[in-house]
Structure 1
Amino acid sequence: MPQVTPYGSWKSPITSDLIVAGSVRLGEIRLDGTDIYWSEGRPTESGRSVVVQYSQGQTIDVTPAPLNVRTRVHEYGGGAYQVADRVVYFSNFADQRLYRQPIGSEPVPLTPEAEFRYADAVVDQPRQRLICIREDHTAGGHEPINTVVAVGLGSQLDAGQILVSGSDFYASPRLSPDGRHLCWLSWNHPNMPWDGTELWVASILADGTLGSAVKIAGGSTESVFQPEWSPDGVLYFVSDRTDWWNLYRWSPSQSEIEPVCPKAAEFGLPQWVFDMTTYGFESAESLICTYMENGVQHLARLHTKTLQLSEIATPYSAIGGLKVAPGYAVFIGGSTTRPSAIVRFDLQTRETQELRRSSHLEIDSGYISVPESIEFPTENGLTAYGFYYAPKNQDYTAPTDERPPLLVKSHGGPTAATSANFSPSIQYWTSRGIAVLDVNYGGSTGYGRTYRERLKRQWGIVDVDDCVNGAKYLVEQGLVDSNRLCIDGGSAGGYTTLAALTFRDVFRAGASYYGVSDLEALARDTHKFESKYLDGLIGQYPEELPIYQQRSPIHHADQLNCPLIFFQGDEDKIVPPNQAEMMVEILRQKGLPVTYVLFTGEQHGFRKAENIKRALDGELYFYARVFGFQLADAIEPLLIENLPA
């Protein structure tokens, strides 16, 4: 018989220790012959990222400690390694040099010690080189220079020969199967890659340099994603020229671009990191892809001759990092009730083999809250979306006259999206009796370009309205307590959190994870990749400075009247610590309850197990003290300044 206990005070088996113990971040799948590789970010090894190989039923670590396979190109990285013929080529985080490591041997550097960063490589075997993106920081305080370069694989250290230059950014250099052509993406300030990119192709000359480049698709208002050559030399790519990211193709022997799967669905993603993939080739006639339609993700096969799209049933509701080989696909698969895993999926038998799970958590279904996809009304007669998680714990029930606290989660980006994929950290809250609403506010990816562009010049308004209206909707449905609404978010989600607490009077507490409080400071201080991002989200800087000040919580702290906790990494180059510290000082002066937790050695997002644990437990402790509910477990206290006894 469940015990009657107030919401927030339920004892849960889903502890922070359990969440971080043995948990890893899975990513960057690579296929090499029959061997499968992926990267693992390990919180228990201070966040170190390791390349792992699965071969003939055996799993081994490839890259030895203390090497950390991670690139800082665009600061967010991605595309940190490549594999060909059982040789791994990777970027090491500490020095940002490229290394070459045959399986079973020690890594050897390819590039010199210099202020260069590398990412998104492809191996050009006939010419014995890597073709990759290079970010040149040798100019010191000036903006780094991004180019496409070739790095030789010989014994001499090679910083790279520039093949393509002149644009602000590059991504996705890809060789045609015959090695005669190279394609790539480029874009320029103030665009982000989901705003507008260009797809280029050039022939490779006898000396390894490129011939005249031809623009195939794209522009300032068309986002091209993931160019990929088919085995028979046709160039496929994803474009949102019809509002939705759909598949197209082009051949060097023809001049026309052909749509191959027109559909009101998203076959693309916002390129926050390098080497994001949503499709691959089983053969020249069979393309395997993922797409998002009405908030639901699908796996499908596209027959490239008939253009027939056939859905492939899987037990997974979220599929990412898709790589394809003859007869099988490998992806990161997740569901609403199980941690994500590296999955080998047989395309004929439909059998699945989980090679590595992101967590060894085995949780009884009686403690798992299954999300409900909801739509709710928001400003201007529009609709917004989210996933609602009701409190769930088989051992407890709440008094009949009580409604649970609600934690609204605002994702980062802001041009990103949340999914219904199993999240141990969300279950941490729901199993303790706290409801969660994970919001895909206007501006999120997955609902077409028009929905994504709701945030154009409206950041701090549309996202805040949608988070507020989502909470109000659940209150009106009688599902949550209107007096115990709180909100959290990281990075851009941290800004939405701070803006919602400052400019609206709905939430009673919040947590900002490396969030933005001063938009002007962000425009001045952030890194190259995002240095003009706010032009589209807010307005041109400094020409439209009054708008920046109008929407910056730091300038309107007189309107902020609720408790706040801040979590920050001291090495964050994207949102520096001063963004949090300015707000903390104002809250101190106002006499509002405030806590500031600064983690040493962390950047933009926390990777160390002890810090992930501290942040999760610390946020719960903060809300318990603010809302006055008793915790079932002892948690190391945090100093909450200005909190009445």
Structure 2
Amino acid sequence: MSRNPADSSHDAPRARLTADEAVAAGRDFVELQAGPAGVFWTEYDPADAMCRIWRARDGVIEAVSPDGFSARGRVYEYGGGAFCLAGEQVVFVNERDQRIYRFAPGSLAAPEPLTAEGLRYGALRHARGRILAVEEEGDTHRLVSIGLHDGSRELLAEGADFYAAPVLSADGRQLAWIEWQHPHQPWTATRLKLRRYAAEGGVLDERTLAGEGDDEALQQPGFDAEGRLVCLSDRAGFWQPWRLEGERLVALPAEAGDHAGAPWQLGASSWLPLAGGELFTTWFDEGWGRLGLRAADGTLTRIAPEYSLFQQLAADETHCYCLAASPECPAAILAIDRRDRRVEVLREVAPLVPVERITQPLPLRFRSGDRDAHGYLYLPAAEQAASDGAPAEPPPVVVFVHGGPTSVSHPVFSPRFEYWVQRGFAIALLNYRGSSGYGRAFRQALHLTWGVADVDDACALVEHLAAQGLVDPRRAFIRGGSAGGYTALCALAFRDVFRGGASLYGVSDPLQLDAHTHKFEARYLRWLIGDPVADRERYLARTPLVHADQIRAPVVFFQGELDAVVTPDQTRSMAEALDANGVPNEVHYYADERHGFRRAVNQAHSLEAEHAFYRRILDGGI
């Protein structure tokens, strides 16, 4: 299997990764497209926080982004669908001004803007000489099409609170999209819309095909080679492919498991129709990603089983492509020959650690109350867990709580996990109730229970690991970003399980978040906790800031000053409350960061500072 590393210039691996090395190795592939002009992808470089467009064609891999441009959108703050192909041209959203540009790779001409300033765009898709997109103007969202050559704008749909995934059939006669209204999120309840056009161009009809109630979330509509509409629906318990036949959706053959994650970003592609009735698809098996090609007769061929995460499926006439990751590889681009299923690695990120020394994740399934929860455990080697030549003992553990809260942690290699295990810490990734990838019922289990169910699961995880002698429960820490920071703060306020913790741009006051966050999540708290007026007492009972006097364990905070999702006052207020109560804490602000840290210098600093904070606690310095 041939391989093309994204960065092979590093020296031989050292005994320990430094924070700078762990972050520098965090280069990642973000989006993927394939067409006659080659295979294109966006590649995030933590050194300068830029997302550049790269191309593979005829065995040559090269960056094709014009200098100074970064392909990244900000629709709904989380972006997605930031570039597409239009014949020999590339169309993309520029991060700095959020305008849509087009350029021809290899041309000396400057990229040409197609849209005006002051708007945001995402979910780009080329169709018949125009670019379909979600347009954001302040708190107003629309579906539009933009002329590829003249930038002319046509309004396609407006009136719904949110839109996603516009797609036009090959003959131009059918337009499908996803929309939803407050208070829903795109993983709780959405509508599948279909508009049909007459041959001369007028609208024949428009209807809602599914999602009239609040018990179904649909995503990723598309058309197969015969022009039939296919989408993913969770009406049967998992996000699986369904096809429109006549007036109703009919389930296609599928594995039992989610065929997509929660759509926090636009532009997801986890299934793809191919000629001859084949379906290129990925799904989750108890949180572990799978990839396969399903023939028209339903026969499934598994592809690349050594990988555990697959995203951004694409195809051309001869190959299928996807982004992938595994417990031994942080990021790769795979090419699958459609005739013989042979897999080639077009490009990958080197792990910086010899394969034989990489820590393998142990799948976890454990009881929490009346339900199961999930996760993965990364254990340090015995010689790393021991200190000063003493016999190895159960190591300290850091529970990593993902954000969302409807996101998920994947069992893939991370240089940051290696940074921790090389220093003697076990890492436990928690997929608490509400995480995606385990079906609708598991996601819905967080309904009105945020701040309780997730905290129960975090504590049950430590108890489960300690009962098996895998970790030392007296040296357990908890950390999380955004919603994960809220869980960490709740666990420190309402339970006596953790020795300390970290909140990275975490929520400390849900009522304040409800009043001041951005539109996309403006009503999310109603689903997670309840109505902020009618259920005010429930909010207060689950507010770490209100109960700051119950926190006794030290806390370290990390916060971007430009964060529009969880604003800096959430961190500032919590740290001040701990100061007033005499609880040891540290606060690190980053003037140039938003929600999530993108700059390498800040990522390395936060990683190093968090480890040093825990180390001082264990050594008695705090």
Q: Paired residue for 2:321, among 330, 333, 345?
A: 330
Alpha-carbon offset, residue 177 of structure 1: 1.2
Q: Paired residue for 2:217, among 215, 223, 230?
A: 223
How far, CA to CA, are the matches of 2:203 and 2:67 in structure 1? 38
Once the two structures are superposed, residues 243-279 of structure 1 have per-residue CA deviations (whole angstroms, 9 ceiling, x without a partner) of 111211015xx22321112543111221100111111
How far, CA to CA, are the matches of 1:461 and 1:12 in structure 2? 41
Structure 1 residues 396 and 196: alpha-carbon distance in aligned structure 2, compared to 1, 3 A threshold: closer
Q: Paired residue for 1:290, among 282, 300, 306?
A: 282
Structure 1 residues 354 and 307: alpha-carbon distance in aligned structure 2, compared to 1, 3 A threshold: closer
Query: Counterpart in 1 of 2:38?
Result: 35
How far, CA to CA, are the matches of 2:236 and 2:463 in structure 1? 34
Q: Secondary structure at the match of 2:579?
A: helix
Once the two structures are superposed, residues 445-484 of structure 1 have per-residue CA deviations (whole angstroms, 9 ceiling, x without a partner) of 1211111111000000001100110011111212211211
How far, CA to CA, are the matches of 2:305 and 2:414 in structure 1? 19
Q: Secondary structure at the match of 1:339?
A: strand
Is 1:609 the counterpart of 2:600 in the alignment?
A: yes
TM-score by length of 2: 0.93
How far, CA to CA, are the matches of 1:465 and 1:523 in structure 2? 23
Query: Counterpart in 1 of 2:193?
Result: 200
How far, CA to CA, are the matches of 1:527 and 1:18 in structure 2? 34
Q: Paired residue for 1:111, among 102, 110, 115?
A: 115
Alpha-carbon offset, residue 13 of structure 1: 2.0
Alpha-carbon offset, residue 353 of structure 1: 2.4
Structure 1 residues 230 and 438: alpha-carbon distance in aligned structure 2, compared to 1, 3 A threshold: same
Is 1:385 the counterpart of 2:374 in the alignment?
A: yes
Q: How does 1:557-568 map to 2 (within 5 A)?
A: 557-568=548-559
Is 1:362 the counterpart of 2:372 in the alignment?
A: no
How far, CA to CA, are the matches of 1:262 and 1:321 in structure 2? 19
Once the two structures are superposed, residues 572-628 of structure 1 have per-residue CA deviations (whole angstroms, 9 ceiling, x without a partner) of 100111110101111111111111111121111111111111111111111111111
Stretch deviating more after TM superposition (459-468 or 586-595): 586-595
Query: Counterpart in 2 of 1:57?
Result: 59
How far, CA to CA, are the matches of 2:319 and 2:356 in structure 1? 34
Alpha-carbon offset, residue 376 of structure 1: 1.2
Query: Counterpart in 1 of 2:509?
Result: 518
Q: Secondary structure at the match of 2:160?
A: coil
Read off the aligned partner of 2:381 and give its amino acid letter.
K
Q: Paired residue for 2:141, among 146, 167, 181?
A: 146
How far, CA to CA, are the matches of 1:365 and 1:321 in structure 2? 26
Q: Is the Cα contact below 8 Å between 1:163 and 1:209 reproduced in 2?
A: no
TM-score by length of 1: 0.90
Structure 1 residues 392 and 234: alpha-carbon distance in aligned structure 2, compared to 1, 3 A threshold: same
Q: Is the Cα contact below 8 Å between 1:69 and 1:80 reproduced in 2?
A: yes
Query: Counterpart in 2 of 1:164?
Result: 157
Read off the aligned partner of 1:195 and give its amino acid letter.
T
Q: How does 1:250-399 map to 2 (within 5 A)?
A: 250-251=244-245, 254-261=246-253, 263-304=255-296, 306-357=297-348, 359-379=349-369, 381-392=370-381, 397=386, 399=390
Q: Secondary structure at the match of 2:155?
A: strand
How far, CA to CA, are the matches of 2:72 and 2:203 in structure 1? 29
Query: Counterpart in 2 of 1:635?
Result: none
Structure 1 residues 51 and 207: alpha-carbon distance in aligned structure 2, compared to 1, 3 A threshold: farther
Q: Paired residue for 1:498, among 489, 498, 510?
A: 489
Read off the aligned partner of 2:134 and give its amino acid letter.
I
How far, CA to CA, are the matches of 1:576 and 1:395 in structure 2? 38
Query: Counterpart in 1 of 2:95?
Result: 93
Q: Is the Cα contact below 8 Å between 1:443 and 1:452 reproduced in 2?
A: yes
How far, CA to CA, are the matches of 2:469 and 2:603 in structure 1? 33
* Structure 1 residue ranges, 4+ long, deviating more than 4 angstroms after superposition: 205-211, 393-398
How far, CA to CA, are the matches of 1:37 and 1:553 in structure 2? 45
Once the two structures are superposed, residues 270-310 of structure 1 have per-residue CA deviations (whole angstroms, 9 ceiling, x without a partner) of 11001111111231421111111233322122223x23334
Q: Secondary structure at the match of 2:159?
A: coil
Is 1:214 the counterpart of 2:207 in the alignment?
A: yes
How far, CA to CA, are the matches of 2:335 and 2:18 in structure 1? 30
Cα root mean square deviation, aligned: 1.9
Is 1:177 the counterpart of 2:178 in the alignment?
A: no
Query: Counterpart in 1 of 2:9?
Result: none
How far, CA to CA, are the matches of 1:511 and 1:12 in structure 2? 27
Structure 1 residues 172 and 500: alpha-carbon distance in aligned structure 2, compared to 1, 3 A threshold: same
How far, CA to CA, are the matches of 2:442 and 2:235 in structure 1? 14
Q: Is the Cα contact below 8 Å between 2:25 and 2:352 reproduced in 1?
A: no
Q: Secondary structure at the match of 2:248?
A: coil
Once the two structures are superposed, residues 303-327 of structure 1 have per-residue CA deviations (whole angstroms, 9 ceiling, x without a partner) of 23x2333433533122122223334
Equivalent pairs, count:
604
Q: Secondary structure at the match of 1:329?
A: strand
How far, CA to CA, are the matches of 2:280 and 2:520 in structure 1? 31
Q: Secondary structure at the match of 2:459?
A: helix
How far, CA to CA, are the matches of 1:520 and 1:348 in structure 2? 56
Structure 1 residues 67 and 88: alpha-carbon distance in aligned structure 2, compared to 1, 3 A threshold: same
Read off the aligned partner of 2:144 and give its amino acid letter.
V
How far, CA to CA, are the matches of 1:129 and 1:55 in structure 2? 25
Q: Secondary structure at the match of 1:316?
A: coil
Read off the aligned partner of 1:134 and give its amino acid letter.
E
How far, CA to CA, are the matches of 2:574 and 2:434 in structure 1? 26
Read off the aligned partner of 1:149 and give its amino acid letter.
V
How far, CA to CA, are the matches of 1:571 and 1:211 in structure 2? 46
Is 1:16 the counterpart of 2:51 in the alignment?
A: no
Stretch deviating more after TM superposition (400-409 or 233-242): 400-409
How far, CA to CA, are the matches of 2:615 and 2:260 in structure 1? 41
Q: Is the Cα contact below 8 Å between 2:124 and 2:267 reproduced in 1?
A: no
How far, CA to CA, are the matches of 1:500 and 1:261 in structure 2? 42
Q: Is the Cα contact below 8 Å between 2:420 and 2:426 reproduced in 1?
A: yes
Structure 1 residues 621 and 166: alpha-carbon distance in aligned structure 2, compared to 1, 3 A threshold: same
Q: Is the Cα contact below 8 Å between 2:384 and 2:423 reproduced in 1?
A: no
How far, CA to CA, are the matches of 2:473 and 2:592 in structure 1? 38
Structure 1 spans left out of the alignment, 5+ residues: 1-10, 138-143, 630-642
Query: Counterpart in 2 of 1:134?
Result: 135
Is 1:84 the counterpart of 2:86 in the alignment?
A: yes
Q: Secondary structure at the match of 1:611?
A: helix
How far, CA to CA, are the matches of 1:434 and 1:208 in structure 2? 63
Q: Paired residue for 1:124, among 121, 124, 127?
A: 127
Q: Percent identity?
A: 36
Structure 2 spans left out of the alignment, 5+ residues: 1-13
